[in-house]
Amino acid sequence: MKLVNLKDASQQVSFVEAVKIGLGRQQGVFFPTNLSKLDKVDELLDLPFATRSAVILKHLIGDELPASVVNEMVTRAFNFPAPLVKVKNNTYCLELFHGPTLAFKDFGGRFMAECISLFSEGERVTILTATSGDTGAAVAHAFYNKPNVDVVILYPEGKISLAQQKLFTTLGNNIHCYSVKGSFDDCQALVKEAFLDDELKKTLGLNSANSINISRLMAQVCYYFEAVSQLPKLEREKVHISVPSGNFGNVCAAMIAAVIGLPIARLSATTNQNDTVPRYLKDNEWQPNTTKESLSNAMDVSKPNNWPRVEAMLVDGLYAKDNFFSRSVSETSTTEIMKALHVEGYLAEPHTAIAYQGLKQDEQGDGTEIFLATAHPAKFKESVDKVLGTNIPLPPALSDALAKPCLAESITADYAKLKQAVYQKLNVGL
Ligand SMILES: Cc1ncc(COP(=O)(O)O)c(C=O)c1O
């Protein structure tokens, strides 16, 4: 697979290089130079999830990895289901929260972890990341006990929910957590400083494993095929999918799925009140506003870093602009939809409710509709209970983590102290 830097076309890299580098020159994202169509999509849809996903990923990655290796990686990474649940008539929900950290990030995170540990070829790799909540858990679980890989996670002390925190601080072994006395921005500043420290970068084999990594997107393509495969055959035409969008990575994966042959007739990238893309599509002006805090806080993004990838496919005519929609959903509508869905018997957290509303806003009255549930309702228990007047039970993954002791070390927001603590923990001489 050859990929090009969308900000500097002179930089072309292989899949392995793109996974290792993450981001290209001038902070440009990598995108495949060629997305060829899959053969016999109907037959592919008849295969089991992991088997089919291995075929799709092998098709995308090409000759760089043997089919047997891709198959092993996928079998380990996708060891939980993505059920399509009928909500009413022609409307279905693709539930992506049945993995270890109860969110869609488990698919991309686990496949990325497989890639990074394979490509490190026995060399030491240290994943360093700052988290304001969910990323820490997904990264920690994905890399937990992977040989030659250590994970260092920084989070702002006392500023993330206990459930979020315990999902990663209780693991131990190769997962090292630091609660930083400061804000999320302080944590990010420490990470930035570490990536500017050549000595540390080299000693630890630093990698950010962030959400821009192409391996994540490739993995996410697979669950769109899984959604369509679970539809009755007669309902597979005119499929409309709505994706709750923040950084636009998930919807980018949906578009790639369509480009390589999955019949997705209409695609909605539905945002919360952080509506840079909906305004851009309307006025043709890119004007990010200050980010506003929302109930769907994982989508509080005003400069979506995957948008250049989506735009490249639209501009190149790989996916028809007329079939792509992006509209925003207000906070009031979000709570109204959560309530309406609850009355209909479906429990949705705010991100999922926004995806549902995206279907309704762009409805044409025919075909099959699929909205994505990107997180388990219990991950947003506080807001769900407040809006719906419920007291939803915690799934075992959350209640078990809450019962375990937190293994994080508390540090001040001081780079020298962090470096010393990490070197000590990883037995590296200063
Ligand atoms: C629960 C949830 N839903 C939706 C999104 C948005 O996905 P994307 O950033 O790929 O658009 C996120 C992103 O973190 C998320 O955590």
| pLDDT tens digits along 380-397 | 999 999 999 999 999 999
Q: Which atom of ligand 1 is nearest to the CA of 244?
A: 4
Q: Residue 133 Cα, ligand 1 centroid: separation in angstroms?
A: 12
Q: Residue 26 Cα, ligand 1 centroid: separation in angstroms?
A: 25
430 residues of the chain, pLDDT tens digit each:
999 999 999 999 999 999 998 889 988 999 999 999 999 999 999 999 999 999 999 999 999 999 999 999 999 999 999 999 999 999 999 999 999 999 999 999 999 999 999 998 888 899 999 887 778 899 999 999 998 899 999 999 988 888 889 999 999 999 999 999 998 888 988 998 998 899 999 999 998 887 789 999 999 999 999 999 999 999 998 999 999 999 999 999 999 999 999 999 999 999 999 999 999 999 999 999 998 989 998 898 888 989 999 999 999 999 999 999 999 999 999 999 999 999 999 999 999 999 999 999 877 778 999 999 999 999 999 999 999 999 999 999 999 999 999 999 999 999 999 999 999 999 886 5
Q: Residue 262 Cα, ligand 1 centroid: separation in angstroms?
A: 22
Q: Residue 345 Cα, ligand 1 centroid: separation in angstroms?
A: 24
**244 in ligand 1 pocket by Cβ < 6 Å?**
yes
Bridge pairing between strands 8-14 and 84-88 = unpaired
Looking at ligand 1, which residue's alpha carbon is closest to its atom 13?
298
Q: Residue 122 Cα, ligand 1 centroid: separation in angstroms?
A: 32
Q: Residue 429 Cα, ligand 1 centroid: separation in angstroms?
A: 39
Looking at ligand 1, which residue's alpha carbon is closest to its atom 3?
374
CATH class of the domain comprising 81-430: alpha beta
Q: 199 exposed, middle or buried (CB, 10 Å; 0-12, 13-18, 19+)? A: exposed
**299 in ligand 1 pocket by Cβ < 6 Å?**
yes
Count of CB atoms within 10 A of residue 91's CB?
Answer: 19
**135 in ligand 1 pocket by Cβ < 6 Å?**
no
Testing ligand 1's pocket by substitution, the residue of 299, 354, 371 carrying the most ligand atoms inside 8 A of its CB is: 299
**249 in ligand 1 pocket by Cβ < 6 Å?**
yes
Decide if 41 contacts 26 (C-beta within 8 A). no
**230 in ligand 1 pocket by Cβ < 6 Å?**
no
Q: Residue 247 Cα, ligand 1 centroid: separation in angstroms?
A: 7
